[in-house]
Amino acid sequence: MMFASQITPRSVGGVTLAQSAALVPPLIVVALAEPDRYAILLAVSLGAALIWEAIFAVLRRQGHGIHGVTTALIVTVLVPPDIAVWQLAFVVSLGVVLGELVFGGRGFGFVHPATVAVALLMVSFPQIQLPASTQALAVATLPGALLLLALGLISWRIIVATAVMTVLALFVKGSGVDLTALSIALVFGLIFLICDPLSATATNPGRLAYGALAGVFIVVFSSGGPPTAEAIVLAALMASVFAPLIDHLVTLAHARRREKRHA
Amino acid sequence: MRHFEIKRGEWPSNAGAPAQRINGQIAVGSAAFLGRDMPGLRPVFEVKQGEQVEIGQTLFTDRKHPEIAFVSPVTGRVSTLAYGARKTLSACILEVDDTVQADPASVPIEAASAASIRETLLARGMWIAFRTRPFGKTPTPDAKPTAIFVNACHASPLAADPRLVLEDRMATFRHGVSLLTRLTEGKVYVCQSPGDAFCAEEEQIEPVSFSGTIAAGLAGTHVDRLCRISATEKVWTISYQDVIAIGHLFETGQYLAERVVSVAGVGAARPRLVRTCLGANIADICDAGEGSRALAGDPYTGHAATYLGRFHAQISVNAKTTPKPIRTWTLRKHTGLSALVPTGALDHALAPDILAVPLLRALSIGDSETAARLGCLGLIEEDVATLSRRCTSGTNYGALLRLVLDDLMEAAA
């Protein structure tokens, strides 16, 4: 941990940069299937996210960030390639504005804008099916995950708690547990949506509870079999809504424990 | 001896550390008392500008508590008396005059009763060496702490090793510690680094050792591990060099203003330890060229200053000479608020058992109730310096903590 504290980014821009770097391999793997199409999709989502950030920066007379890049990258990886360009622009705009900019920018809201964007896509256009995660995508997520772990930008507690709770919940539900299929399905959404430091809990016991809650939601929202991308996005959304409450309960319990110390 | 290993906080680095031997005495040209060390203090001056003063002579008293005297650390002439806002102290600057060499006789002061010890400390300028937790203020003359913490911990290689400073002063130090036991009904904890205990364990005296990160040397960490504090349960903290001065005061009847100060840091031409006086002029201590890069205090909480503060025993010399010119785009970037990202580095920054991110959030919005529940009463500015350094928001949490503490102090009064 001595090492991590030395290299952790000391600005929100640095955090965004690290997250964007972590997102590059998954994007490349997904885009290899249809490079031309994905180039258009990426351009559209980047354009939509950054234009809204620029508009808000001008309206608020603040500096212009590039935080929309991570939102655009995550959304591009998650959406199906045959999505209409206007639909993508529409949901990215809604996600960035409603999930982030109305709260004052990156780090001031309580949900991840990409989660909001994809969740709104599912609600607004129910006919669109999110593509299932592939083995290649799961493998490509790992270097980024290791980078973010080393920088202290995601917590192993959330990863472990979510994975364990998902397995447990599937077991209780009576569905078969195929660990390989499960990890392939989980890994991208878990690392970039559920573990996002700004929408997750910020205390160590809270992280365990938050991860466990996300695991339960994943199983509740998926209809049997390995978890779907839709279920993970909705679970991330719901869990982050509960994150402030979990943190509040943890601080109350911690204060009670402090009271009893040195008694 | 109980031992605590502190794993959270900034790990020490040896860059720019001084050799642990004292490089002689430095006679400074001027010394000062700064209002910065005693925020809100309103002085009643007992000397006039231009007046000759002797070492240990009362310069001014606290208007609220006239018993508390502030005495001169040098023999010389009062060159400036300056008020700040609302008649608070801004600075009291003294010019050293070497030609007047008074040699007062050594008259031991008898520590007859607890009340007389208190009176002596108050009248002879040693009372202000104590700081309370919570709030980090000078205690009121009638206050009774639940414990007293002597900080003799060597956590940063850049500071002087108390073992070295105490070498030929051990008896005086132990005398000082025994006097402290008369001020409290609780314990006097002597917090030190591992090794031979500075004091024998007695009914009211307990040596405790701390090691690990730089936070092992912060009084806030010692208090958190050993004692519970609240708005009503107050403890006092004091540095080991002040305990030596207290011992010296009672042994000889003379005020001891001499302090061992380290001049260190990556920018120091020759990192060294020197003997000088309280509130010494930093430029007089530093070599040519070091002065402009010198900070009063340690590298984490230090600030550019002309004089050392009352509680400083360290001058940190930076590597950088001048701050880089600010470009327009950085200015633009800084006009907006920056967010707090709960990174792993923040979780490992705070040595006391306090949830870091919830505390920072409470401080950011000035929620003193939540901050107090989380344990901010045990902290002062120096304890949260690491959090300010590591947080992505670039906020000065020390300043925010002070606002919250002021709020809580008002509520408790």
pLDDT digits (tens, 9 = 90+) for B215-242: 999 999 999 999 888 878 899 999 999 9
Check whether A45 has a pLDDT greater than 70.
yes
Residue indicated by tokens 């006039």: B48
Residue B288 CB coordination number (10 Å): 8
- Cis upstream peptide for B134 (omega within 30°): yes
Residues on chain A touching B393 (C-beta within 8 angstroms): 12, 107
Count of structural domains within chain A: 2
Residue B381 gets which letter from DSSP? Answer: G
Q: Are residues A104 and A166 in the same domain?
A: no
Flag whether A133 is in a domain: no
Residue where a domain stops, chosen among A124, A143, A162: A124
**Cross-strand partners of B281:** B307
Same-domain pairing of A9 and A105: yes
Residue A137 falls within a domain, yes or no?
Answer: no
CB of A233 closer than 8 Å to CB of A122:
yes
Closest in A8, A12, A251 to B338, CB measured: A12
pLDDT 10s digits, A162-174:
999 999 998 888 8
A106: which chain B residues are within 8 Å (Cβ-Cβ)? 339
Residues A7 and A118 in one domain: yes
Please indicate, yes or no, whether residues A97 and A10 belong to a single structural domain of this protein. yes
Q: Are residues A119 and A158 in the same domain?
A: no
Is A254 at the interface with chain B, CB within 8 A?
yes
**Tell me: the pLDDT tens digits for B239-281?**
999 999 999 999 999 999 999 999 998 888 889 999 999 999 9
Of A77, A107, A124, the residue at which a domain comes to its end is A124
Confidence of residue A179 (pLDDT cuts 50, 70, 90): confident
Rounded to an integer, what distance in angstroms lies between the CA atom of residue A78 and that of residue A189? 9
Average confidence score pLDDT of chain B: 89
| Cα of A182 to nearest chain B Cα, Å | 27
Residue A147 lies in a domain: no
* CB B269, CB B286: distance < 8 Å: no
pLDDT in tens, B109-127: 887 888 999 999 999 999 9
**Does A143 map to a domain?**
no
* Contact across the interface for A62 and B394, Cβ inside 8 Å: no
Question: Is B392 close to A202, i.e. CB distance below 8 A?
Answer: no
Task: Determine contact, residues A112/A235, Cβ cutoff 8 Å.
Answer: no
CA distance B159 to chain A (A): 21
Q: Which amino acid, B403? A: L
Option in A8, A155, A263 nearest B390 (CB): A8
**Residues A181, A253: one domain?**
yes
Which residues face A207 on adjacent strands?
none
Judge if A116 and A22 occupy the same domain. Answer: yes
pLDDT of residue B184 exceeding 60, the answer is: yes
pLDDT band at A1 (very low <50, low <70, confident <90, very high): very low
Host domain of residue A52 = 2-124
Please name the member of A1, A64, A197 whose beta carbon is closest to the beta carbon of B348. Answer: A1
Q: Is the pLDDT of residue A263 over 70?
A: no
Report the 10 Å Cβ neighbour count for B392: 24
Cβ-Cβ contacts under 8 Å between A and B: the total is 110
Q: Which amino acid is at B237?
A: T
A139, part of any domain: no
List chain A residues with CB under 8 Å of B336.
Answer: 57, 60, 62-63, 65, 105
Is residue A118 domain-resident?
Answer: yes
pLDDT band at B326 (very low <50, low <70, confident <90, very high): very low
Query: What is the C-alpha to C-alpha distance for residues B40 and B84, in angstroms, rounded to an integer?
Result: 9
- Mark out the alpha helices in B139-274 (DSSP H runs): 162-166, 170-180, 219-226, 240-252
